[in-house]
Amino acid sequence: MISPKFLGRLGFALLFALQPGFAAPYPSFGTVQTTNSSGVLNAVINNTASSTNLFDYRVQADLANLVETLQANDTDIRVVVFSSGNKEFFIPHLDVDYFLPGYGFPDMTFPPALLWNISQLPQATIAMVEGRARGIGNEFLMSCDMRFSTTSPSVLFSQLETSFGFIPGCGGAMYLSNLIGRGRTLEYVLASADIDAVTAEKYGWINKAFDTSAAMKEYVHTLARRIALFPLAGINGTKFGVSAVSRPSREDIVQKAQAVITVLAQLPATQAYATKFVEATHNQSIGELELNYGQALLGLYNVTEEELTN
Amino acid sequence: MISPKFLGRLGFALLFALQPGFAAPYPSFGTVQTTNSSGVLNAVINNTASSTNLFDYRVQADLANLVETLQANDTDIRVVVFSSGNKEFFIPHLDVDYFLPGYGFPDMTFPPALLWNISQLPQATIAMVEGRARGIGNEFLMSCDMRFSTTSPSVLFSQLETSFGFIPGCGGAMYLSNLIGRGRTLEYVLASADIDAVTAEKYGWINKAFDTSAAMKEYVHTLARRIALFPLAGINGTKFGVSAVSRPSREDIVQKAQAVITVLAQLPATQAYATKFVEATHNQSIGELELNYGQALLGLYNVTEEELTN
Amino acid sequence: MISPKFLGRLGFALLFALQPGFAAPYPSFGTVQTTNSSGVLNAVINNTASSTNLFDYRVQADLANLVETLQANDTDIRVVVFSSGNKEFFIPHLDVDYFLPGYGFPDMTFPPALLWNISQLPQATIAMVEGRARGIGNEFLMSCDMRFSTTSPSVLFSQLETSFGFIPGCGGAMYLSNLIGRGRTLEYVLASADIDAVTAEKYGWINKAFDTSAAMKEYVHTLARRIALFPLAGINGTKFGVSAVSRPSREDIVQKAQAVITVLAQLPATQAYATKFVEATHNQSIGELELNYGQALLGLYNVTEEELTN
């Protein structure tokens, strides 16, 4: 039987679905700036302390606050559209400082629990991507209901964790295997390779790629407004059904994956690679390695593309 | 271990698989007319009481009778090909009268149990689509093993339930997330959008789209006859294996989804929308709303496409 | 929680991941010849006793020995690339002699347990296909992490078991339903149809198809070398996560499927078909039936393509 907990949550959603709509200004949270109208909340992730829109403690805390507000559902928001304030980077990856020797390894269940909560929101969630989304950046996209991007060469998706000696720790590769099949998932994820938007659309990694930013925005705006016409309870119930069969379990993402991450991330080899990475990126700032990690990582392994080919 | 129940069913199937084939006329059931030859049963759904081939009580009862006959498997039928007698509508949706205030809300577990039983038939099941298949019409397609259509503009697929304030209640969106991934599933289902046959084939929603009705019929006929050469026990066992990993569970479809539907469908907002829909369609007869629901639903929400875009 | 068994295996993998790499010659095993360099093991399946590279007892035993060596992981192998020594056949199917009357039906859990163990290897596994891969040949491909082929007309994939009156017994159709969806899986598997490389790539059955053998080898070589740069523990952990949500269970493949196979394979009808097949192929040697089974099987059923179409 369906859990009383779900019916409870549903009832709660219904209560507000029945209220007449209004568009009071929605709170913003530091690195996450919001605007709203017609039931659609636009949330722009803009970590101005980082040149690459790094997914650091600030972004995590601000997103957690936004999620809590959306869970409480005290407005008529029915659709959330996430985008980035940085046109070169959607989200580059998790703050690699966490993995440096002596940093004091943080509670690694916080990021996956945050992304799990995003996947669990009663509202429809749409990611609108410009720039790179690697590592937890791609896992953020996977945790949203839908993903759209432009075909700009700046748009690159990747789970880069294997190259660090660990694993996608927030379910990114698990979600991906539903979208593009386990074969292509393992090809891209084990190789820590970048995929461009056209190929990503072809395989189903993203919903659709648009030639221009304007075309993407018009499509997403219209789609979001359309979904926001409908009662929240139906949106929530439909998501609940689809997720029951196509989403990794919370246990797989938050407990099991983190047990593995916690072991792997504290290995000397992993910490040594993290140290090299932070040095080579001049503390995770814009440069060849952040812009072009899929190819540039070979330099950290002291090989060239020609050497791999021969 | 495999359940004794399955091995029992298998043994039963084997018994008849070993019989020499014969082609006694197969029974027809009111709105579902059959013909058979060479182990292939053609079942045409033709609800002449409705201009849109509505999935009402009659169609449900007739299909349930057909399913019971096929389960008992007292002939050499190995493949069932479903089509529609109405070239504009495969099946438009469930009878919306069920959701009108004061109608006397029916047992909502009957339709999903019927579709579950179709998914569970020992025979291979193929849907050959001309016209629209929305709501439970698309869920019927999902419950078949395979789906083929023409590229005619009359062919449109949709799960339209979210626009009514409820959810696809027979597992349609759950099946779909295996076929096209959870991202595209949520895009189309949350938006209650129509998808055309060419895009549906590209994404994997349907197996294949054909330029002409004749080309589709030849392909499906040859495919059905070919499968019907093979022993029923192997067909049944192969379906059993594939379904074990890629079909939503009966509990998800019949118990959980119906618990949600039962709550949602009786909400005043849902009933008000159903009332508007039945009025605007002149009691579910052919017109702009039934022909073109994906766009025309905006009228019921009192918005235009231009307003959504701006 | 994650099983202590997995963390144990992981710890074991880590131990060796931390060792400096070396490239001692790797053992070969009769029909499976190996070479290795830079962490990549090339394993060529070449059953010279068979003109079609038959998956007989020898190949099974040799692969089982290789798998045991890779599980023990006593070298720095991080990626295994499987190919065939026979350019017309990757693997044609299981030895059909097993199903002849009076053969003495073998333990049918050995092949699926072997393929399960391949899917479970800590190393990344890549199949590089030239020639036909049917039945257990395709199931072998499914049990690898990734699959690449040329577009040569000699490349054909198929689960042909339904035409014999049984089922894909090593999970082939189950894996396939993750890659190409349950609709196209049932279309091809129930029909025991061949699929060519271009269509297989389009649907996602294989990762990618290349115009030439040289192009495939360069791509796979570079991909394998790249993955082999990374620590084995991350490769293993990433595979573990993806498999947790997208791989059929060992119980589904080894227990349940074998319970069905054991019943079906001993039926008189199945044994009669196997006898016909072995006679018509002149004891499973090269000829029209092995080269072109997808069409030629109709001859064993005494029908022509024209008869099916009419």
pLDDT of res. C107: 80
Residue A303 has pLDDT above 50, yes or no: yes
Give the DSSP H or E segment for C128: strand C124-129
**Spatial CA neighbour of C231 closest among A282, A164, A22:** A164
Mutate to test the interface with C, among B139, B176, B226, B236 (most CBs of C within 10 A): B226
pLDDT of residue C21 exceeding 60: no
Instruction: Quote the DSSP letter at residue C81.
Output: E
Q: Say what the pLDDT of residue C249 is.
A: 97
Calpha distance C83→C220 (Å, rounded)? 11
Whether residue B124 lies within 8 A of chain C, CB to CB, comes out as: yes
Burial class (CB in 10 A: 0-12, 13-18, 19+), A113: middle
Q: Which of A190, A249, A256 would you mutate first to test chain C, the one with the most C CBs within 10 A?
A: A190
For B210-219, write each residue's pLDDT tens digit.
999 999 999 9
Least Cα separation, residue C161 to chain A (angstroms): 23
Of C300, C304, C55, C293, the C-alpha closest to C158 is: C293
End-to-end CA distance of chain B: 58
- In Å, what is the CA distance from B193 to each residue of A78, A223, B301, C139? 17, 10, 14, 37
Chain C residue numbers with beta carbons less than 8 Å from the beta carbon of B178 are: 177, 181-182
Predicted local confidence at residue B19, as pLDDT: 46
User: Closest to B184 (Cβ–Cβ): which among A14, A207, A244?
Assistant: A207
Range B275-280 average pLDDT:
97
Cβ-Cβ contacts under 8 Å, C263 against chain B: 7, 10-11, 14
Verify whether the Cβ–Cβ distance B260 to A10 is below 8 Å.
yes
Q: What is the mean pLDDT of chain C?
A: 92
| Per-residue confidence (pLDDT) for residue B5, from 0 to 100 | 62
All partners of chain C with 3 or more CB pairs under 8 angstroms: A, B
What pLDDT, on a 0 to 100 scale, did the predictor assign at position C4? 56
For B247, which residue in chain C has the nearest alpha carbon? C182
Is the pLDDT at C17 greater than 50? The verdict is: no
Q: Indicate yes or no: CB of C221 within 8 angstroms of CB of A252.
A: no
Which 157-186 residues of chain B touch chain C by CB within 8 A?
175, 178-180
Taking CA atoms, what residue in B is nearest to C294? B226
For C3-17, C167-181, C265-279, which range has the lowest pLDDT when averaged over its residues?
C3-17
CATH of the domain at B92: 3.90.226.10
Residue A250 in this model has a pLDDT that exceeds 90: yes
pLDDT at site A16: 46
Chain A neighbors of C226, CB-CB under 8 A: 191, 193, 298, 308
Question: Looking at the predicted structure, is the pLDDT value of residue C47 above 70?
Answer: yes
The predicted structure's pLDDT at residue B279: 97
Residues of B in contact with C171 (CB under 8 A): 241
Q: What is the pLDDT of residues C24-36, one digit of tens each?
A: 678 999 999 999 9
Query: In chain A, which residues have their Cβ closer than 8 Å to the Cβ of C220?
Result: none
Judge: B146–C180 Cβ closer than 8 Å, yes or no.
no
Q: Confidence class of residue C20 from pLDDT cuts 50, 70 and 90?
A: very low
Cβ-Cβ contacts under 8 Å, A40 against chain B: none
What pLDDT score was predicted for residue A3? 61
Using the Cβ of C189 and the Cβ atoms of chain B, whether some distance falls under 8 Å is answered with: yes
C309 CB neighbours in chain B (<8 A) are 218, 221-222
Q: Does B93 touch chain C (CB under 8 A)?
A: no
- What is the percent of chain B where pLDDT is above 70? 92
Give whole-number Cα distances, B139 to A193, A228, A247, B173, B181, in Å: 37, 24, 20, 8, 16
User: Does residue A33 belong to the interface with chain C, where contact is any CB pair within 8 Å?
Assistant: no
- Distance, in angstroms, between A130 CA and closest chain C CA? 26
> Which positions in chain A touch C145 (Cβ < 8 Å)?
182-183, 186-187, 190
Quick one: closest CA in A to B183, which residue? A146
pLDDT in tens, A177-203: 999 999 999 999 999 999 999 999 999
> How far apart are the C-alpha atoms of B194 and B197, rounded to whole Å?
10
Distance of CA C129 to the CA centre of its chain: 10
From the CA of C183, how many Å to the nearest CA of chain B? Answer: 5
Mean pLDDT of all residues in A7-19: 51
Q: Point out the residue among B2, B222, B234 whose CB comes nearest to the CB of C166.
A: B234
Mean pLDDT of B144-150: 98
Q: Which residue has the higher pLDDT, A310 or A132?
A: A132
Instruction: Tell me what the mean pLDDT of segment B205-209 comes to.
Output: 98
CB contact C97 to B (< 8 Å): no
Note the pLDDT tens digit of each residue in B43-67: 999 999 999 999 999 999 999 999 9
Indicate whether B9 pLDDT > 70: no
* pLDDT for B151: 98
All chains having 3 or more CB pairs closer than 8 angstroms to chain A: B, C
What ipTM was estimated for this complex? Answer: 0.94
* C-alpha distance across the termini of chain A, in Å: 58
Q: What is the mean pLDDT of chain B?
A: 92
Q: What is the mean pLDDT of residues A134-161?
A: 98
Backbone angles phi, psi at A233, to 5 degrees: -60, -40
**Is A241 within 8 Å of B167 when comparing Cβ atoms?**
yes
CB of A276 less than 8 A from some CB of C? no
Between B305 and B75, where is the model more confident? B305
Q: Which of A249-253, B291-295, C24-28 has the lowest mean pLDDT?
A: C24-28
Strand partners, B125: B80
Q: CB burial class (10 A; 0-12, 13-18, 19+) of residue A7? A: middle
CB proximity B189 to C under 8 Å: no
Subunits in contact with chain B (3 or more CB pairs closer than 8 Å): A, C
- Neighboring chain B residues of A204 at a CB cutoff of 8 Å: 180-181, 183-184, 203
Looking at CA atoms only, how far is residue A21 from chain C in angstroms?
Answer: 39
Instruction: Give chain B positions within 8 Å (CB) of A178.
Output: 177, 181-182
Q: Residue A15 pLDDT > 50, yes or no? A: no
Q: Do C165 and B207 touch (CB under 8 A)?
A: no
Angle at B289 between CA B284 and CA B290, to 5 degrees: 50
Cβ <8 Å between C190 and B124:
yes
Per-residue pLDDT band for C105 (boundaries 50, 70, 90) equals confident
Per the structure, the count of domains in chain C is: 1
CA distance A273 to chain C (A): 10
pLDDT at C18 > cutoff 50? no
- Chain B residues with CB-CB distance to A7 below 8 A: 259-260, 263
In angstroms, what CA-CA distances link C278 with C52, C133, C162? Answer: 13, 18, 17
Residues from chain C contacting residue A203 (CB–CB below 8 Å): 204
Integer-rounded Cα radius of gyration of chain C: 19
Residue A137 confidence (pLDDT) above 90: yes
The model's confidence at residue A266, banded by pLDDT at 50, 70 and 90, is confident
Name the residue among A174, A184, A308 with its Cβ closest to that of C241.
A174
Residue C89: the pLDDT is 98
Asked whether residue C279 carries a pLDDT value surpassing 50, the answer given is yes
B259 shares contact with chain A (CB less than 8 Å): yes
Q: What is the pLDDT of residue B305?
A: 93
| Cβ-count burial A263-272 (b if 16+ within 10 Å, e if not) | bbbebebbbe
Q: How confident is the model at residue C39 (pLDDT cuts 50, 70, 90)?
A: very high
Q: Helices H, strands E: what count in chain B?
A: 15, 10
Inter-chain CB proximity A242 and B191 less than 8 Å: no
Q: Which pair of tokens denotes residue C132?
A: 């036909």
Whether B223 shows a pLDDT value over 70: the answer reads yes
Q: What does the angle CA C243 – CA C246 – CA C247 come to, to the nearest 5 degrees?
A: 65
CA-CA distances (angstroms) from residue A159 to A190, A205, B37? 8, 12, 53
Work out the percent of chain A whose per-residue pLDDT is above 90. 84
Among B167, B257, B298, select the one facing A234 at the smallest CB separation. B167
The distance of B140 to chain C (nearest Cα, Å) reads 13
**Interface check C262 vs A, CB under 8 A:** no
Nearest of A156, A154, A152, A155 to residue A212 by alpha carbon: A152
Residue A4 pLDDT exceeds 70: no
pLDDT at A257: 87
Which residues does chain A have within 8 Å of residue C239's beta carbon, measured at their own beta carbons? Answer: 186, 190
What does the pLDDT read at residue A20? 42
> What is the number of CB-based contacts under 8 A between chain A and chain C?
141
The whole-angstrom separation of Cα C220 and Cα C185 is 26
Q: What is the mean pLDDT of residues A144-171?
A: 97
What is the structure's pLDDT at B106?
A: 77
CB contacts of A147 in chain B (<8 Å) are: 183
Nearest CA in chain A to B309: A222
The contacts of residue A55 (CB under 8 Å, 6+ apart) are A47, A91, A92, A93, A94, A95, A111, A135, A136, A137, A140
Q: Which two tokens stand for residue B304?
A: 């235009």
Residue C72 belongs to domain spanning:
4-309
